Amino acid sequence: MEDRDRELDPVVKVSDRSTAVIDIGSNSVRLVVFDGPQRVPLPKFNEKVLCGLGQELGTTGRLGEKAMADALAALRRYAALVHHMGIERVMVAATAAVREADNGSEFVSEIEQQCDLNVQVLSGRQEARYSGLGVLSGIPHADGLAGDLGGGSLELVEISDFRIHETATLPLGALRLSHMNMPEKKLRKFINKKFAKAAWLEEMTAKNFYAVGGAWRVLARYHIIKTNHPLNIIHNYRLTGEEITALIDEILAMSIEDLYNANGIPKSRANTMHTAAIIMQELLEKVTLKNVIFSGNGLREGMLFSELKKSVRKRDPLLDACRDMAASEGRFAEHGEEIFDWLKDLVRMADRKGKRLTLAAATLSDIAWWANSDYRAAQAFRRIFRAPFNGIGHRGRAMIALSVYARYKGDFSGPAPDDSLRLLSEAEAKNALTIGLALRLSHTLSGGTIGILSKTRLEVSSTTVTLRIPTSLSALVGQHVIKQLEDLAAALDLKSEIEVTPSRLS
């Protein structure tokens, strides 16, 4: 049923202002084509090839011949794809392995000659900065330490107040260290010696750690599957200090064979998982942090983000994405702002986060208008719960998706919202239902059109939910409006009342 329903989804509109980013990393070579340079670019194409350029870096100081051949083959394909896609804006970045290898410059010359690509070999400072900006692009209020673990290096970045502060690039890539075959005790000593070069780490306390990079994201994927977490999305997945400690201990207790067979761990990552876990364990022992939050954004997103004006960078990525989705899939994209204004008395006691989620839900409250009425609630829920949103955690996704589900359904019945309800407390679920019922009433009263709600008022007192409506619009008060106002009031344990006034409400 789920796959059949998904076929009904409308085609997501994308612009022709595409940018291609080719990342020549120490472990993988990847092409991502983003739709446009806006605040929330949408990945239209994403492909990587694991070449292992940094595999021999720690032992020979050079890029291996086979790794270079594999990378060149992938890059020739990417150059051809970009050409046939008609993309004029192509950004190509090479990171630690190419930067540090004795034959790195020769390899870059070969790429430019064979593929006609202009390769920018990033300095350690640039790589760290782009990684930090990538985290900020997807988690704007990030406050703490970001760590991007690649195959050849580890970038550490202090981030807060929308800014990059201290940075460090250390030769602690998971692939590089795994192939140096050091005993564990020696490996830990080597790691801590490198950490000592970033003296500012000692001051990082009581903040969050934002984990970036394929090997660390595998930790999140493994935990999501192991715990049967309702949402299989790594971005903004959060673990407490106790949870990450237990997870690392579990990974380190597993044999290589166990790792190869573990659900959620790609076989291509099994050989580096112990090293990746040890690096994080040593880092978290050196700095005292509250939570580990996994970021789906990193260097590539940071490169795009760096080109935006500062005023654009500070725009809310969630609300921008919601407005884009509403413009693409809704009937009246601007209706969301009017609905939110109409709900202000209902959410007046909510904090900034609660009001933001309400605005997002109001903005998305019409995206399933095109579907058969029997499927609208489920379609809207799935579209929102699984959308590639930035700037929101898993619980926030659940709040918005459930609110819009209730807007169509009138309650939380049916199988679609079951898993998401596990993410919320009883009070949060009740709040999502209340917002959904208010959205439902707003669309019924206004017929989904603009200009009606602004002439009416929804008021909430300690005893009553009152709909005030001018005489000129009193004909809009039909049985459905009355029933939905009663449902909203009942959800708040209040009475309902409709008051018709002689003149337009101001």
pLDDT at residue number 36: 64
**Rounded to whole angstroms, how far apart are CA atoms 239 and 290?**
9
> Quick check: 176 and 57 in contact, CB under 8 A?
yes
pLDDT at residue number 113: 96
> Quick check: 434 and 489 in contact, CB under 8 A?
no
Structure tokens at 81: 């794809």
Within-domain flag for 307: no
When comparing pLDDT for 1 and 331, which is higher?
331
Q: Are residues 355 and 239 in the same domain?
A: no
pLDDT, tens digit, 9 for 90 and up, residues 205-250 = 878 999 999 999 999 999 999 999 999 999 999 999 999 999 999 9
Within-domain flag for 207: yes
Within-domain flag for 202: yes
Q: Are residues 374 and 256 in the same domain?
A: no
Q: Are residues 330 and 282 in the same domain?
A: no
**Rounded to whole angstroms, how far apart are CA atoms 364 and 383?**
10
Within-domain flag for 227: yes
Structure tokens at 437: 């019922």
Mean pLDDT (whole number) for 394-399? 96
> Quick check: 154 and 147 in contact, CB under 8 A?
yes
Q: Are residues 474 and 335 in the same domain?
A: yes
**Rounded to whole angstroms, how far apart are CA atoms 257 and 413?**
44
CATH number of the structural domain spanning residue 278: 3.30.420.150
Band (pLDDT 50/70/90 cuts) for residue 419 is: confident
Classify 184 as helix, strand or coil.
helix
Lowest mean pLDDT among 351-355, 384-388, 502-506: 502-506
Band (pLDDT 50/70/90 cuts) for residue 7 is: very low
Structure tokens at 89: 């804006």
- The pLDDT > 70 percentage for the chain reads 95
Band (pLDDT 50/70/90 cuts) for residue 179 is: very high
DSSP characters over 357-415: HHHHHHHTTTTTTTS-TTTHHHHHHHHHHTS--SS--HHHHHHHHHHHHHHHHSSS-SS
Among candidate residues 99, 122, 145, the one where a domain is terminated: 122
DSSP-assigned beta bridge partners for residue 467: 458, 498
Q: Are residues 48 and 140 in the same domain?
A: no
Mode of pairing for the β-strands spanning 495-501 and 464-470 = parallel
pLDDT at residue number 15: 44
The H or E element containing residue 279 is helix 270-286
pLDDT, tens digit, 9 for 90 and up, residues 286-318 = 998 889 999 999 999 999 999 998 889 989 999
**Rounded to whole angstroms, how far apart are CA atoms 314 and 252?**
40
Burial of residue 157 (CB within 10 Å: 0-12, 13-18, 19+) is: buried
pLDDT at residue number 486: 98
Among candidate residues 300, 326, 349, the one where a domain is terminated: 300
**Rounded to whole angstroms, how far apart are CA atoms 87 and 20?**
7
Q: Are residues 82 and 208 in the same domain?
A: no
Number of domains into which the chain is organized: 3
Band (pLDDT 50/70/90 cuts) for residue 506 is: low
| Whether residue 468 has pLDDT greater than 90 | yes
Query: Which residue has 């709909």 as its token pair?
Result: 467
Within-domain flag for 306: no
pLDDT at residue number 449: 87
CATH number of the structural domain spanning residue 418: 1.10.3210.10
Task: Starting at the earlier edge strand, list the strands of the sheet with 288-294.
Answer: 163-170, 154-160, 144-149, 205-212, 288-294, 237-240
User: What are the CA-CA distances from residue 227 to residues 79, 223, 224 (Å)?
Assistant: 41, 6, 5
Helix axes 317-329, 335-342, angle to 10 degrees: 120
pLDDT at residue number 335: 84
Within-domain flag for 310: no
Q: Which domain holds residue 18?
A: 1-122
Q: Are residues 219 and 233 in the same domain?
A: yes
pLDDT at residue number 167: 97
Mean pLDDT (whole number) for 461-470? 96
Within-domain flag for 159: yes
Structure tokens at 281: 């364990």
Q: Are residues 91 and 131 in the same domain?
A: no
| Whether residue 8 has pLDDT greater than 50 | no
265-274 LR contacts (CB < 8 Å, sep 24+): 265/218, 265/221, 265/222, 266/218, 268/50, 269/214, 269/215, 269/218, 271/178, 272/151, 272/174, 272/175, 272/178, 272/215, 273/215, 273/218, 274/178
pLDDT, tens digit, 9 for 90 and up, residues 50-93 = 999 999 999 999 999 999 999 999 999 999 999 999 998 999 99
C-alpha gyration radius of the chain:
26
Among candidate residues 103, 122, 141, the one where a domain is terminated: 122
CATH number of the structural domain spanning residue 63: 3.30.420.40
Q: Looking at the whole model, is its pTM more than 0.75? A: yes
**Rounded to whole angstroms, how far apart are CA atoms 144 and 11?**
38
Mode of pairing for the β-strands spanning 89-94 and 18-24 = parallel
**Rounded to whole angstroms, how far apart are CA atoms 135 and 310?**
15
Q: Are residues 369 and 230 in the same domain?
A: no
Band (pLDDT 50/70/90 cuts) for residue 2 is: very low
Mean pLDDT (whole number) for 261-278? 95
Determine the length of the chain. Answer: 506
3-class secondary structure for 311-327?
HHHCCCHHHHHHHHHHH
Band (pLDDT 50/70/90 cuts) for residue 12 is: very low
Q: Are residues 322 and 284 in the same domain?
A: no
Q: Are residues 96 and 139 in the same domain?
A: no
pLDDT at residue number 6: 31
Within-domain flag for 506: no
Mean pLDDT (whole number) for 487-491? 98
| Whether residue 418 has pLDDT greater than 90 | no
User: What are the CA-CA distances from residue 439 to residues 195, 271, 336, 341, 428 (Å)?
Assistant: 52, 51, 10, 12, 17
Lowest mean pLDDT among 31-35, 163-167, 447-451: 447-451
pLDDT at residue number 202: 86
Structure tokens at 46: 């994403």
pLDDT at residue number 3: 35
Lowest mean pLDDT among 91-100, 161-170, 332-341, 448-457: 332-341
**Rounded to whole angstroms, how far apart are CA atoms 183 and 185?**
6
**Rounded to whole angstroms, how far apart are CA atoms 95 and 128?**
10
| Whether residue 32 has pLDDT greater than 90 | yes
Q: Are residues 375 and 247 in the same domain?
A: no
Mean pLDDT (whole number) for 33-62? 90
DSSP characters over 467-496: EEEEGGGGGG--HHHHHHHHHHHHHTT-EE
- Average pLDDT taken over every residue of the chain: 92
